[in-house]
Chain A
Amino acid sequence: MTPSLHLWLIPILPLVGAAINGLMGRRCSRHAVSGVAVAFSGAAFAMALWVASQISSLSLPHLELLSPWIRAGNFQADFAFFLDQLSLLMLLVVSGVGFLIHLYSIGYMWDDAGFSRFMSYLNLFMFFMLTLVLAGNYLLMFIGWEGVGLSSYLLIGFWFTKDSAASAGKKAFIVNRIGDFGFLIALFLLIKHFNTLNFAQLFEQIRPLQPEVAGAGLLTAIGLLLMVGAAGKSAQIPLYVWLPDAMEGPTPVSALIHAATMVTAGVYMVARSHLIFDRAPSALTVVAIIGTLTALFAATIGIAQTDIKKVLAYSTISQLGYMFMACGVAAYSAGVFHLMTHAFFKGLLFLAAGSVIHAVGGEQDMRRMGGLRKYIPWTFWTMTVATFAIAGFPPLAGFFSKDEILWKAYSSPHGSWVFWLIGVVTAFITSFYMFRLWFLTFFGEYRGAQPSSKAKLATEPAAHDSHAPDPHAHDNHGHGHGTPHESPMIMVLPLAILAVLSFVGGWVAIGGRFERFLAPVFDSGLTASVAESAAETGGSTETLLMGISIAAAVSGLFLAWFLYHRQPALPARIAASLGGVYTAVYNKYYVDDLYNTVFVKPLLKGSTTVLWHGVDQAAIDGTVNVAADSARHVSDSVRHMQSGNLRSYAGWVAAGAAAVIAYIIWAGVR
């Protein structure tokens, strides 16, 4: 028996922080509150690092049984924590990124009236997320799962005086509930057939099972239901609708919950359940298809967005799609790898976006930004790293993970060139909209509000993206307008660290080290191993495909540069050349125009009208709204059963009795 690591301390630490801040934060100074919040999340991170350092002396998977929990009949679930390479990785990512975002939030939320409440919620979120990651059985995992949903609801609705924030929070909550049913039913099925939810015993029972090739079967059903749960939490088609709305929350929340950690819980869950999926090929295919479609779909919507956070939100959905694509082709380690790098660069993107928003006084519309690189150099440079990383430029982190996924999508026995092709197209679009964002925000001229005379350049990092700030907050509205200004050090520091990670984070995979690290976890226990069949293709094809994906990234950059950096000057040049020569330059513009009308405009238009307005808003939101309306309608008519008249009530009872007796006579006769 390996020595106890006291893993339970890791989630408990942030909980203590949350409790302290929640109960006493109101009465303490902001310094004390931030000290507590950072100290406890930092302690969790330190603990995680310590655990990582002990790993060589452990036999993984390492199971820590805290106490028996439920032993009802032959069903059992324990308070147990489960540490293997996968959960260790998740642990490090969650606590590390979480810690950085705690730091950042201190600066960002400093002047908000609900500062202590915010910090308390963040800590609470960390508690649930770490529980989810470390859970030794599905039940504990589900508790963390629901808990992160709850804290996400609290944090999205943080500026609850805003109607949109409140309803966004509610939407997130309810859509997530739908996904949770899938998860719950899957758990019930597991209980029914395996009588346990503990990972160790459960997987022991599943391991000897053979794959269900013909399609339908118990494991397929469980896999599909788990995928429903994952789709809800990780914002996949068709349950992604809540994530863009969730951007109503404060930006650090978007970074922590809706980019780096919580939304990846679905991927983690699928990876954790890989033994089930390995034996359910049709469920796996569904996962891959959903992931691929989501990746493409969300990316195309991302093109048409003008709100900087919405672009990032759709980008998150799209990147999550990549991860599911990887899981769907049974390349779990690739998916988890992308999960990790994505946590770095997307967390960074959101934090940098927050810094931008903060710099321009709460403006989120990219059309009213521009030229910001002069004003906020730190933000600019870190954002640049992140943008290149997400676009997949070597040697940044995103390149390695995305390339790995694309390669696996092509070469895996579960994969197909279709997945690869869509993946590459998506990579191109991703690169395009990210650089569009980059150019619009940082290059050209500043198109925002002009500096006003009374603008103060005080460090005013308050809740600028709250359009209707909490009335109890300080007067934090209006100060921000003026010349864009850099954020305080405490916000810049996390940016810098994440930038470094986004840069070097992918290097761990060089030479397949990452895959080997996770290999013991993802051993499918089946005879036909993924790795063997992949090895035979290898070599030149891989290099070729890698080249294509780099080319896609570069062309995305080029197109964005062409349209959003060069084109802004277009009107002026036309004016200059009005009376003059039709030069090659003009001709080039003609081509540009043609190109524009033939390719870009339809794409944009299609993206806007068909996908965004049509599918996203009308079809899916519409369905949700119609469902809500009709429920309300039915509710109103059902309510009229309650006429208040005693005799009609007695009539219901009598009619019910008549029905019951009639049925039972019929049943008795039968």
Chain B
Amino acid sequence: MVPLSYYLMLSGILFACGILGFLLKRNIITIFMSIELMLNGVNLSFVAFAAHWHALSGQVFVFFVMVVAAAEAAVGLAIIIAVYRTRETLNVDQVNLLKL
């Protein structure tokens, strides 16, 4: 039996990977992927806690997180396309009209 805290550590690592990707990557699409990575970390801990508490509500929550992730993906990718149309680039460092 794998202890709960191992799952939690894994979820923490995945979440940190997501943060790292968000902060490091230059391509907007991969930045967005990093967010998915973070969400997966969260989901993992939800499921782990659900197993711990014997509470299915954690799994139900994960289901809703996935719904939201799908919705975000649809809108986000559309926004990325819109930006790409006006800028011809997906480099996040070049998307900086608005500043100061």
Contact = CB atoms under 8 A, between A and B. Distances in A.
Q: In the complex they form, do A and B come into direct contact, defined as C-beta atoms under 8 angstroms apart?
A: yes
Interface of A: 639-640, 642-647, 650-651, 654
Contact of B23 (A639, A642, A643, A650): A650
A646 B98 CA distance: 10
Contacts of A650: 22-23
30 contacts: A639-B100, A640-B100, A642-B99, A642-B100, A643-B96, A643-B99, A643-B100, A644-B97, A644-B98, A644-B99, A644-B100, A645-B92, A645-B93, A645-B96, A645-B99, A646-B31, A646-B92, A646-B95, A646-B96, A647-B22, A647-B23, A647-B24, A647-B92, A647-B93, A650-B22, A650-B23, A651-B23, A654-B19, A654-B22, A654-B23
Contacts of B19: 654
B66 to A, nearest CB: 23
A644 B94 CA distance: 10
Interface residues of B, number: 13
Contacts of A639: 100
Nearest to B93: A645
Contacts of A643: 96, 99-100
Interface of B: 19, 22-24, 31, 92-93, 95-100
A639 B98 CA distance: 12
A647 B92 CA distance: 8
Nearest to A648: B23
Nearest to A645: B96
A351 to B, nearest CB: 51
A598 to B, nearest CB: 60
Contacts of A646: 31, 92, 95-96
A635 to B, nearest CB: 11
Nearest to A646: B92
Given A645-B92, A646-B95, 5 more contacts: A644-B97, A644-B100, A645-B96, A650-B23, A651-B23
Contacts of A654: 19, 22-23
B12 to A, nearest CB: 11
A615 B7 CA distance: 69
A645 B26 CA distance: 11
Nearest to A639: B100
Q: Pick the most buried of A640, A642, A643, A647: most chain B CB atoms within 10 A of its CB.
A: A647
Contacts of B99: 642-645
B63 to A, nearest CB: 26
A643 B98 CA distance: 9
The 9 closest A-B pairs by CB, nearest first: A644-B99, A644-B96, A646-B92, A642-B100, A650-B22, A639-B100, A645-B96, A654-B19, A644-B98
A639 B100 CA distance: 6
A642 B100 CA distance: 5
Contacts of B98: 644
A651 B23 CA distance: 6
Nearest to B24: A647
Q: Pick the most buried of A643, A645, A651: most chain B CB atoms within 10 A of its CB.
A: A645
B27 to A, nearest CB: 12
Contacts of A647: 22-24, 92-93
A642 B97 CA distance: 12
A208 B61 CA distance: 62
A646 B22 CA distance: 10
Contacts of B23: 647, 650-651, 654
A645 B22 CA distance: 13
Contacts of A651: 23
Nearest to B96: A644
A545 B31 CA distance: 85
Nearest to B20: A654
Q: Pick the most buried of A639, A646, A651: most chain B CB atoms within 10 A of its CB.
A: A646
